[in-house]
Amino acid sequence: MIEKRGIMFDLERSIRDWKRNLQRQEAFEDGTVADLETHLRDSIDALKREGMPEEEAFHEAVSRVGGAEGLAGECGKVREYRLDLRRPWRTSRFMPALAGNYLKVALRKIRRQKGYSFINIAGLAVGIACFLLILTWVRFEFSYDRFHKNAREIYRVISEFHSPGGKINYVWTSQAPLASALKEDYPEIINSARALSWNWTIGQEGNRFREFVWVVDPAFLEMFTFIFIQGDPATALSNRDSVILTETLARKQFPNEDPMGKTVIAGRSTPLIVTGIIKDIPLNSHFDMDAIVPMELTREGNNLTEWGGHNYRTYIQLQKGISGEDVQQKVRHWGKNVDPDTQETIQLQPLTRIHLFALEGGGLIIYIYIFLAMAFFVLLIACVNYMSLASARASARAKEVGVRQVVGARKKQLIGQFLSESFLLSLIATILAVVVALAFLPVFRRLTGQEIQVSYSLETLALVVALAALTGILSGSYPAFVLSRPEPVKIFKGIFRGGQEGVLFRKILVIVQFALSVFFISGTIAISKQIHILRNKDLGYDKENIVCLNVLGGIEQNASAVKNRLMDNPKIVGMTIVDSFLDAPNSSASSSVIHWEGQKAGETIPWLIVRGVDFDFQKTFDIPMAAGRFFSREFPSDPKDGMIVNEAAVKAMNMDSPIGKKFHFWDHDGTIIGVIKDFHFRSLHKSIEPMVMKIGINLQKIAIRIRAGDVAATIKFIETEIKKIVPGYVFEYEFLDEKLDRLYKAEERMENINLSVSFLAIFISCLGLSGLVAYTAEQKTKEIGIRKVLGASVGSIAMMLYKDFLRWIIAANLVAWPLAFYFANRWLRNFAYRINLDISIFALSSALVLLIAFLAVSYQSIRAATAQPVDSLRYE
Amino acid sequence: MLSRTLMAASTRPIILAILSRGEDYGYNLIQKVKGFSGGHIDWTEGMIYPVLQRMEVDALISSQWKISADQRPRRYFRITERGREELASELAGWGNVWKALNHFVEPLRAEE
């Protein structure tokens, strides 16, 4: 019987089991369970009274009460009338009362973990500041020419010269009559204007300087937006001798009087009457202008109806809403109206693209993309610090997470909490970053070589806030996910080992950081090597000690007198009058106007650079001849008949013995008397093109070669002597090598920015790395203690700590090399003359990064390794 | 047996009607309904509790815990003023339905 009792029905126990089953349903409130229990007992009692055995009565009662799930579902619905359809036993998604607590905890964490917070905030602030600066710059570059009210409708007319190889030479000037012809032929074009940009001496007697004077059609003032302080745009250019001054120039010329109606002298002796004052042209304009004069002024010197040369900047304005591309299709082959055989086509370049987009493709926009990417990467590196440190510290916060979960926090709430924490940090960092960015703006202006303006607008504020939010999300999302994951039971049982599961993730992050650093550094090295090549390449002549005078200003009539006087000074080696200096050629001829003796049918040179020189050019620049002779005063026919080509031209024309051959370009007929060795007459982005030289074409500049040593005195001498012969000469000079350096401004800027970005990248990466090392050391406190007790040396322990990190950094190098090679290679394609990308560049940058990283982790690891073992082992 | 819909519609008025006579607890409510209807109205017993809760949320009834003589905790429900109003309007409604039903059913019987 005793055995039977063992399996006998136990009512209380059955009821307890039944109740436990009910309690598993979270929808039941305790009261409901009590209700149901009483009900069940009443029911059983009643059934027993009817004579039913206890066990049967229990089952019957249970079935009458109904299944737990069904009841729970009904109970759940009872309070489900809230808008958010939240179950009553769930905590609400957002509890405003907790926000204060989140803030308190977040601030406490910042306060208690100073090192960690410093790394995060400093890293983020530097990253954001860098991003802000670059963003400011990008916005500035994009704002170019947009201040014109008609900016969207204005296009610049580009002439395209097609060479047989499919290469196109773009010229942003057109023939003089094109502007009005296009306007007449196409109703879509509602306005058009020509412009010439002259570097002209202008001002009152004794106060004259070279200024940028634009010679324009009156319609120019209608199309573009100039703010007139005085004068009327409609009539300002009506008279042939009128001039509009910018505010700055007006103040410079007429400091204490009203300039309107006053006379200034332009050029040698052209009197102009001031008819208008405009506000200075904003910096973000492709116009560089100090004064505007009417096109009428040039009527005598230039034939404005001639289709000959491409000398005029031509702007057109389309009707609002007309697509530029459609009009472009229509006007493309307009040139055939003038010359049915022409190879020339027309392109319409939107005004707003002029500054950023080069006609050949590329242009400044490439740099903008590159720098935007860099800015983003620096920001990413800073966010990575936050991510890796926060996930490494997951275990430190696990208890807090556990407690929050136990008192009802849901995963979403925890994610929200940690995200808002990263937002708080990124907000603090952003505020710091704004301060840093403003402080570094002058430095950044120097780096970019741009007078960047910050626009303090709502838009800017929105951008800054958006940036803070982006940073918050970028850096907070992963940690929030990791930190909210552990289950409370595991935490309190000590099973949860936060920081372990993110190891791979953190490895990847460190690799990404250092790969980017190596990438930037090798980029910087490649760029600076390339710039070194650009600066030091043999140009075919000696570029040092050449003084460039931009103006003839009356010297031409007295050229030999000036020359003789100057050559008396032994410090002066030579003087030559040229059409342009050797940084950029002035004129060129297209294939249709180039002919030579022995030219076969269908044989052409696509493009020929034309250089006007005098007899002393070769001597002054010291360029050797490849064949024949240079122009000489001993041959009276030279100025009229003599022509000299370079080796590239001989090659392009396929000539065997060029000397004595007839040559024709433009409307000049002559004979080739010599072949000059190839020399560079423009930036090294391009290779040496075919060139012809002729005496006396378009001479307007002076180059003087002096000897090194006491340069200032020599220049003073030049100035005095010139002024003795040509009184009133405006003496402004420059050195040729400085002019040449300016050709590589973009590259130099790239080098500067790249260098700074590399520095920031490695700095922030090392911040994060040292944080991680400190964390690892903290985790391994006991291991380190035991090792030390057992006799490990400081060195071996330090090595143990960063062996791991060094491995990741080496992995980062492997990732970075191919990427850096690819991009550096693409960049180098911009140059006709470029460095070889050899392994030394990458090896050097890797070594650099390794060294810096090594130093960064050394402090933390040595500190951990030198700690007293007794301190680390005292616990337990 | 009542249809599901009819049962759903009638539960609340019946509970209100019973409670209008005096306070009572869940088990007893069920017994009263069963006893009166002779088993025609057969509720899943546990289901009365969510309904009572809901009625309490809607302020038609109020409740109070009491320990009965057999030491079991019981929740006694009492009709509120609002509950009485609800009951009156339900009764009017049911009365109208009943009248309409009778009216439309009568003629058919007459023709038989």
How far is A406 from chain B, CA to nearest CA, in Å? Answer: 28
| Strand ranges inside A217-334, DSSP E | 228-230, 242-246, 263-266, 270-278, 291-294, 313-318
DSSP A124-146: HHHHHHHHHHHHHHHHHHHTTTT
CA dihedral (A73, A74, A77, A79) positive or negative = negative
pLDDT at B111 over 50: no
The three-state secondary structure class of A501 is coil
Residue A38 has pLDDT above 60, yes or no: yes
Enumerate the residues of chain A whose CB falls inside 8 A of the CB of residue B49.
32, 35-36, 39, 71, 75
Exposure string of A752-776, with b = 16+ CB inside 10 Å and e = fewer, is bbbbbbbebbbbbbbbbbbbbbbbb
Query: Is the alpha carbon torsion for A551, A553, A556, A561 positive or negative?
Result: negative
Q: Do the Cβ atoms of A34 and B73 come closer than 8 Å?
A: yes
* A91/chain B closest Cα distance in angstroms: 19
Burial label for A445, CB within 10 Å (0-12, 13-18, 19+), is middle
Task: Report the distance separating Cα B56 and Cα A79, nearest Å.
Answer: 10
Taking residues A614-640, what's their average pLDDT? 92
- pTM of the prediction? 0.71
Indicate the pLDDT class of residue A762, thresholds 50, 70 and 90.
confident
Give kind and range of the element (H or E) at residue A207: strand A207-216
B61: left (phi over 0), alpha (psi -120 to 50) or beta: beta
Match 């509890």 to its residue by tokens.
A95
**Confidence (pLDDT) at A3:** 43
> What order do you get walking across the sheet with B61-67 strand by strand?
B24-25, B73-79, B61-67
Q: How far is A484 from chain B (nearest CA, A)?
A: 35
pLDDT tens per residue across span A514-561: 898 888 889 889 988 998 888 888 899 999 999 999 878 778 888 888
Q: Which site among B29, B42, B45, B66 would you substitute to test the A interface, given the most A Cβ atoms closer than 10 Å to its Cβ?
A: B45
Q: What mean pLDDT value characterizes chain A?
A: 85
Chain A residue with CA closest to B29: the answer is A39
Q: Which of A608, A694, A689, A604 is nearest to A644 (CA)?
A: A694
pLDDT at A47 over 60: yes
| B57 compared with A247, residue with greater pLDDT | A247
Alpha carbon of A45: minimum distance to chain B alpha carbons (Å)? 11
Mutate to test the interface with B, among A25, A40, A42 (most CBs of B within 10 A): A42
User: For residue range A94-138, what is the model confidence (pLDDT) as tens digits?
Assistant: 667 778 888 888 888 888 888 888 888 888 999 899 999 988 888
* pLDDT tens sequence across A336-370: 888 887 878 999 999 999 999 988 877 888 888 88
pLDDT in tens, A137-191: 888 889 999 999 999 999 999 988 876 667 787 888 888 889 999 999 999 999 9
CA–CA dist A34, A41 (Å, integer): 11
Q: In whole angstroms, give the CA distance from residue A21 to residue A499.
A: 38
- Neighbour tally for A730: CB within 10 Å: 16
Residue B69 distance to chain A (closest CA, Å): 12
- Across the A:B interface, residue pairs with CB atoms under 8 Å apart total 60
Q: Which residues of B touch A32 (CB under 8 A)?
A: 49-50, 53
- Read off the tokens for B49: 């509790």
Is B50 in contact with A66 (Cβ distance < 8 A)? Answer: no
Which run of H or of E encompasses B74?
strand B73-79
CB contact under 8 A, A71 and B50: yes
Q: What end-to-end distance do the CA atoms of chain B give, in Å?
A: 27
A487-496, A619-628, A774-783, range with greatest mean pLDDT:
A619-628
Q: Cα angle at A241 between A240 and A244, to 5 degrees? A: 105
Phi, psi of A86 (to 5 degrees): -75, 135
Residue A183: how many CA atoms within 13 Å on its side-chain side?
Answer: 16
Rounded distance between C-alpha atoms, residue A586 and residue A575, angstroms = 19
Give residue for tokens 């590399």. A758
Burial of A604 (0-12, 13-18, 19+ CB in 10 A): middle
Distance CA A137, CA A556 (A): 44
Count of other CB atoms within 10 angstroms of residue A81: 11
Compute the average pLDDT of residues A288-312: 82
Which own/partner contact pairs does A487-495 have at CB distance under 8 Å and 24+ positions apart?
A487/A405, A488/A401, A488/A402, A488/A403, A488/A405, A488/A406, A491/A398, A491/A399, A491/A401, A491/A402, A492/A399, A492/A402
Q: What angle do CA A445, A449, A450 make, to 5 degrees?
A: 65
Residue A412 contacts residue A465 (beta carbons within 8 Å): no
State the Cα–Cα distance between residues A517 and A511, nearest whole angstrom.
10
Q: Which of A385, A400, A387, A393 is nearest to A498 (CA)?
A: A393
Residue A829 has what pLDDT? Answer: 86
Pairing of strands A668-676, A587-590: unpaired
Residue B112 binned pLDDT confidence (cut-offs 50, 70, 90): very low
Q: How far apart are CA A317 and CA A149, in angstroms?
A: 11
Strands B73-79 and B24-25: antiparallel
Please name the helix (run of DSSP H) or strand (run of DSSP E) that holds residue A742, with its range, or none.
helix A736-742
Can you state the percent helix, strand and coil of chain A, rounding each to 5? 55, 15, 30
Neighbouring C-beta atoms of residue A210, cutoff 10 Å: 17
Residue A381 to residue A120: CA distance in whole angstroms: 11
Report pLDDT for A268. Answer: 78
List % helix, strand, coil for chain B (3-state, nearest 5). Answer: 65, 15, 20
What ipTM did this prediction achieve?
A: 0.86
One-letter-per-residue 3-state SS of A805-840: HHHHHHHHHHHHHHHHHHHHHHHHCCCCCCCCCCHH
**Phi and psi of A145, rounded to 5°?**
65, 5
Quick check: A817 and A841 in contact, CB under 8 A? no
The single-letter code of the amino acid at A466 is: A
- Between A301 and A571, where is the model more confident? A571
Q: pLDDT tens digits, residue range A491-510?
A: 666 655 555 556 777 788 88
- As to burial, measured by CB atoms within 10 angstroms (0-12 exposed, 13-18 middle, 19+ buried), residue A571 is middle
Chain A residues with CB under 8 Å of a chain B CB are 31-32, 34-36, 38-39, 41-43, 46, 64-66, 70-71, 74-75, 77-79, 81
Rg (CA), chain A: 40
Q: Write the DSSP symbol of residue A745.
A: H
